[in-house]
Chain A
């Protein structure tokens, strides 16, 4: 796993009105941060900016000492450092579970030995050859997490990962995140669920575009 030292400072983003204002956040290996906030307050935008899939308007993004330009294509950095887990899973419906999990390898051109380990750990063996539309919500989320962890990322960005799950599946996912945190991964989790947010070491609140500690 790569070392992580990510710092964003004074970061702002606006669509028609300001969404994020002067946001500062630092992440290192082993950080587990939950971000709470109302719907539409900019949580997902912040996560997308952290994940380098959306440009920011102002501010600084420094990853392992390198300042990133807001408009560049950061696909290599995403591939190397970041794993995404989404509320709506974002699995490709025309592919099988196995093909979805292995998709990131297509872009890194690296071999990995983690596939079998993840399949065993997330109990995905019976699902591997099934198509995505035939899976339950919990199963989809396990597949999405396996895909996010396949390349051993040092940062996991989870956008409401338990939002569509029942309490039992929610606990499975949260305990998995805690385990990943212990292995040295940084985790940023966006959630509405205050109880789920308590699984993190640091709970932040986003309100009016401003990120503050509760």
Chain B
């Protein structure tokens, strides 16, 4: 008769004691779930609060003039490009116009510097609605930089202007000048970009069709004499620098509306650090409670198995063998519980995400930092090893005769 392997025996004992281990597992799964759930939901909160800030390009600083006068912006442009190596600055502006030939659509036109290869969403207004900047994504046709007499428009406007949705097509844009005259420019629409928001086109109280409208054209559309005479310009200086903090410091010397991605990101990092401190404290408390909980659970499980240990030791099982068996059982139960906890929390996160989408229409992203994941894995596996070993050593700590009497 060939002896059974010890691992096989440990698996058999686990199966035979499944009911008591199932009771133990409920507590273990709950404990691990609380820990993992805390990490996942606190990390996700941080990520969802700041995801747009951190996805923004750090090197961008934008300064808006408070009036139509671009003088301060021009001075700033000169300063940063001269004094900060690796810095580019582009002065451009938005104007509003009506497109009467297309149902009197009110359109916002961004007049871009000729060489602008990246265009940002937040240049469309002089008020910074949100504390971030995101690049404009071209979804059809050609992108930036724009050639002469070329334009990119947003998707909603594209649907209004070209019901057949074919590119390219010609668009006539009237521009209002400061002296009240209008100049008409023909551009070829060569690209379509994503909408800034999901507001559908509508007619306002004056019967004007309003839509998410954004037209990007190049400054080369105008002569050097025409450019400064465009009406209702909202000038903007876009700085692209390897030293964005320094560029922002220069901009602060002027009376400008300033937005620096690096500042928003630094503020977010500060906020996350503050949260991390309280998170570490709560995680420490949770770990302590988890340890106590697991220790209590294993102690109970052990007291149920003292008799079996006594029999096995009387039959010749050494302390090492008993330690090995109970260590193997403890590890299997712990790792199984960790796996169940991961599945449980993943399921809960999926339900929460679905709930957010269906009820509030918000896109919640489940996120776990590598640090939290590492801490969970190290602490849960470490606790599994440590407590299983402790469980196993305690199993051999009593005299055999006393264990046999514990029936």
A binding-site residues for B, Cβ under 8 Å: 44-45, 48, 51, 53-55, 73, 75-76, 78-80, 82, 84, 86, 88, 90-92, 94-95, 99, 102-116, 147, 151
Contact = CB atoms under 8 A, between A and B. Distances in A.
Contacts of B317: 75, 79, 106-107
Given A53-B401, A54-B399, A95-B16, A104 B1 contact: no
B17 A109 contact: no
* Residue among A75, A92, A114 with the highest chain B CB neighbour number at 10 A: A75
Interface in B276-332: 307-308, 310-319, 321
Nearest to B13: A94
Interface stretch (B3-11, B60-68, B253-261, B351-359): B3-11
B328 to A, nearest CB: 13
Given A53-B401, A75-B319, A95-B16, A90 B314 contact: yes
Contacts of B17: 94
Contact of A104 (B308, B315, B400): B315
Interface string B387-407: 000000000000111001001
B3 A92 contact: no
25 contacts: A53-B313, A53-B314, A53-B404, A54-B399, A75-B313, A75-B318, A76-B318, A78-B314, A84-B314, A88-B407, A92-B308, A92-B311, A95-B12, A104-B315, A104-B316, A105-B4, A106-B3, A106-B4, A106-B6, A106-B317, A111-B2, A113-B1, A115-B1, A147-B315, A151-B316
Contacts of A90: 307, 310-311, 314, 404, 407
Interface string B1-43: 1111010010011001100000000000000000000000000
Given A102-B1, A105-B4, A76 B316 contact: yes
A108 B316 contact: yes
B41 to A, nearest CB: 40
Contacts of B400: 48, 53-54
Contacts of B4: 102, 105-106
Contacts of A51: 314
A94 B16 contact: yes
Nearest to B2: A111
A51 to B, nearest CB: 7
Please classify the interface of chain B as helix (H, G, I), strand (E, B), loop, or mixed, using the class held by over half of its residues: helix
A109 B318 contact: no
B314 A108 contact: no
Given A82-B316, A94-B16, 11 more contacts: A53-B313, A53-B399, A79-B316, A90-B310, A90-B311, A90-B407, A103-B312, A107-B312, A107-B321, A112-B1, A114-B1
Contacts of A84: 314-315
A112 B312 CA distance: 18
Nearest to A90: B311
Contacts of B308: 92, 94
Nearest to A113: B1
A79 B316 CA distance: 4
B401 A54 contact: yes
A51 B314 CA distance: 8
Contacts of B2: 111
Contacts of B12: 95, 99
Contacts of A111: 1-3
A107 B6 CA distance: 9
B11 to A, nearest CB: 13
In the A-B complex, the 6 residue pairs with the smallest Cβ-Cβ separation, listed nearest first, are A79-B316, A94-B16, A105-B3, A75-B318, A53-B400, A115-B1
B69 to A, nearest CB: 88
A169 B407 CA distance: 24
A73 B318 contact: yes
Query: Taking each of A102, A107, A116, which has the highest tally of chain B beta carbons within 10 Å of its own beta carbon?
Result: A107
Contacts of B6: 106
Nearest to B312: A103
A103 B316 CA distance: 10
B9 A106 contact: yes
Contacts of A94: 13, 16-17, 308
A115 B316 CA distance: 18
Contacts of A88: 407
Contacts of A92: 308, 311-312
A104 B318 CA distance: 11
Contacts of B315: 78-79, 84, 103-104, 107, 147
Report which residue of A54, A94, A116, A151 has the largest number of chain B beta carbons within 10 angstroms of its beta carbon: A94
